[in-house]
């Protein structure tokens, strides 16, 4: 498609350039009668047609020998080629004068060698200008192609990084769930069986979500609720869950497993470490700045050596930035006995 567009633009420029020169020549002429005007028009058209053909042949030579492709231009070769073009075009001009005007220019006693030399110089300048325009267009096209290739490479690298981050999250989530179910096997076989069914459904949903770059907040929270259902079987009254989500935000799109990662950290570093009941609160609100804030809070404190929490947070930060832009992010903070993980993203994130 791009090659066809380039060819189309080239031919349009050729027709416009040489056609414009012919039109200017015809409009600037002052012939005494209609017959002379017709003869001059035919000669001028013939001359512009030969210029069109010579410039196209010159383009073929430039492409064939890659004279404009290198960082150093072969000025000597280009000057020799342009000189040959100018001499040939001057010859075609004299031929047109002979064919259509009976050699009026050749028979004119006021026209001498200096005038013919000036014609060669003028055509040299014309073909030089044509070559310069072609070189500029070629350079711009190569720069555009290089930019497109760079953008495609960036998109591919971004996609690969997102997939790699997703694969980091899924095993972590899976093994956390298995550990939760393992603790139930000897205590309550029926509950363990129910939890396995929930886990199977969750993994099926995650495999489907993994095919998309983003999912809706509603889909993410459904998976979170299933996960917390499994953990509720394990911790019973020790896990107290509260969810407060603005219904207007359920269609907000975000990378899969972002909220899931924050909830897992809240359970692992909050509920698991407490003997008394521990609250995990999930909320989603639209801020005054137009950004959606999804917050996961749990009772407790930030441990000084909570490396896994920091890794999960770094994963969420990177995925949000890659998928939702520079406005998106995630932070972890402690406030009056609560650990807060806050994910921020644009409402129209896609």
**pLDDT tens string 226-277:** 888 888 877 888 999 999 999 999 999 888 888 888 898 888 888 888 888 9
What fold does the segment set 158-346 form as a domain?
Heat Shock Protein 90 (3.30.565)
Torsion of CA 117, 123, 125, 126, to 10 degrees: 160
Strand ranges inside the chain, DSSP E? 215-216, 239-245, 253-254, 278-286, 291-299, 329-335, 338-346
Domain boundaries, the chain: 2-111, 158-346
Cα 133 to Cα 14: distance, rounded to the nearest angstrom:
11
Model pLDDT, residue 34: 73
Question: Bridge partners of 299?
Answer: 338
Model pLDDT, residue 50: 92
Residue 73 region by backbone torsions, left for phi larger than 0, else alpha for psi between -120 and 50, else beta: beta
Cα 312 to Cα 216: distance, rounded to the nearest angstrom:
20
Q: Name the token pair of 204.
A: 């099926």
Q: Please give the C-alpha separations between residue 47 and each of 22, 25, 51, 89, 225, in angstroms, as whole numbers.
A: 8, 11, 6, 8, 80
| Residue 255 DSSP SS3 | coil
Model pLDDT, residue 185: 82
* Percent residues over pLDDT 90 in the chain: 23
Nearest residue to 272 via CA among 238, 304, 313, 242: 238
Model pLDDT, residue 163: 65
Tally DSSP H helices, then E strands, for the chain: 9, 7
Contact of 259 with 295, CB cutoff 8 Å:
no
Model pLDDT, residue 84: 94
| pLDDT, tens only, 210-219 | 667 788 899 8
Question: Bridge partners of 335?
Answer: 338
* 246 CB neighbour count, 10 Å cutoff: 13
In tens digits, what is the pLDDT along the chain, a chain of 350 residues?
Answer: 556 777 888 888 888 888 888 787 777 665 556 777 788 888 888 888 999 999 999 999 998 888 887 778 888 999 999 999 999 999 999 898 888 888 888 788 888 888 889 989 999 999 999 999 988 888 888 888 888 788 777 767 766 665 665 665 556 667 767 877 887 787 778 878 888 887 887 777 666 666 677 888 998 898 888 888 888 877 888 999 999 999 999 999 888 888 888 898 888 888 888 888 999 999 999 988 889 999 999 988 876 655 555 666 777 777 787 778 788 888 888 888 899 999 998 876 54
Tell how strand 329-335 and strand 338-346 pair up. antiparallel
Contact of 239 with 278, CB cutoff 8 Å:
yes
- Which H, E and C letters describe 52-95, residue by residue? HHHHHHHHHHHHHHCCCCCCCCCHHHHHHHHHHHHHHHHHHHHH
Model pLDDT, residue 30: 58
């Amino acid at each position: 498609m791009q090659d066809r567009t380039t060819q189309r633009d080239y031919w349009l420029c050729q027709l416009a350039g040489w056609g414009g020169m012919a039109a200017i020549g015809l409009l600037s002429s002052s012939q005494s009668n209609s017959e002379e005007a017709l003869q001059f028009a035919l000669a001028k058209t013939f001359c512009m047609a030969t210029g069109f053909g010579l410039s196209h042949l010159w383009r073929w030579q430039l492409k064939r020998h890659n004279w404009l492709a290198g960082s150093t231009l072969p000025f000597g070769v280009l000057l020799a080629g342009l000189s040959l073009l100018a001499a040939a075009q001057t010859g075609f001009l004299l031929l047109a004068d002979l064919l259509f005007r009976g050699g009026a220019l050749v028979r004119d006693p006021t026209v001498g060698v200096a005038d013919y030399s000036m014609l060669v110089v003028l055509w040299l300048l014309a073909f030089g200008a044509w070559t310069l325009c072609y070189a500029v267009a070629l350079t711009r096209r190569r720069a555009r192609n290089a930019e497109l290739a760079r953008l495609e490479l960036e998109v591919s690298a971004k996609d690969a990084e997102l997939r790699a981050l997703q694969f980091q999250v899924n095993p972590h989530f899976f093994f956390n769930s298995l550990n939760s179910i393992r603790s139930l096997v000897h205590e309550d076989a029926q509950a363990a069986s129910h939890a396995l069914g929930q886990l199977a459904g969750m993994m099926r949903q995650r495999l489907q979500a993994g095919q998309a770059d983003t999912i809706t907040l509603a889909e993410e929270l459904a998976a979170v609720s299933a996960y917390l259902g499994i953990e509720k079987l394990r911790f019973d009254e020790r896990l107290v869950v509260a969810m407060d989500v603005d219904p207007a935000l359920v269609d907000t799109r975000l990378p899969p497993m972002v909220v899931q990662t924050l909830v897992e950290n809240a359970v692992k570093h909050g509920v698991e470490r407490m003997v008394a009941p521990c609250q995990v609160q999930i909320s989603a609100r639209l801020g005054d700045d137009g950004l959606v804030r999804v917050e996961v809070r749990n009772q407790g404190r930030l441990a000084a050596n909570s490396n896994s929490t920091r890794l999960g947070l770094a994963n969420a930060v990177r995925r949000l930035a890659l998928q939702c832009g520079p406005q998106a992010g995630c932070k972890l903070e402690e406030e009056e006995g609560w650990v807060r993980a806050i994910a921020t993203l644009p409402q129209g994130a896609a």
